[in-house]
Amino acid sequence: MGSVLRFFNHRGTETQRRKTKGKHRAIHFFHLSALCLCASVVSSSIISSAMRHVLSALVQNRPGVLAQVSGMLATRSFNIDSLAVGETEHPELSRMTFVVHGDDAVLEQVRKQLDKLITVVKVLDISSENYVERDLMLIKVNAVGQQRNEIALLVEMFRARVVDVSSTNIMVEISGQESKIEAFIDLMRPYGIVELARTGRIALVRGLAKEEAK
Whether 139 contacts 188, CB under 8 Å: yes
Q: What is the pLDDT of residues 154-209, one digit of tens each?
A: 999 999 999 999 999 999 999 999 899 999 999 999 999 999 999 999 999 988 76
Per-residue pLDDT band at 97 (split at 50, 70, 90): very high
Residues written for the chain: 214
For the segment 59-85, the average pLDDT, to the nearest whole number, is 82
Q: Does 3.40.50.20 match the CATH number of domain 131-204? A: no
pLDDT for 2-54, tens place per residue?
A: 444 444 454 555 555 555 554 455 445 445 455 555 544 444 444 344 477 88
Residue 101: per-residue pLDDT = 79
pTM for the structure as a whole: 0.67
What is the location of CATH 3.30.70.1150 in the chain?
A: 131-204
Q: Which amino acid is at 119?
A: T
Instruction: Name the packing angle between helices 146-157 and 178-188 (round to 10°).
Output: 170
In Å, how far are 58, 95, 120, 185 from 90, measured between CA atoms? 10, 10, 15, 35
Q: Which CATH fold would you assign to the domain 52-125?
A: Alpha-Beta Plaits (3.30.70)
Residues of the chain with CATH 3.30.70.260: 52-125
H helical segments located in 162-207: 178-188
Angle at which helix 146-157 crosses helix 2-48, to 10 degrees, equals 50
> Can you give the pLDDT at residue 103?
76
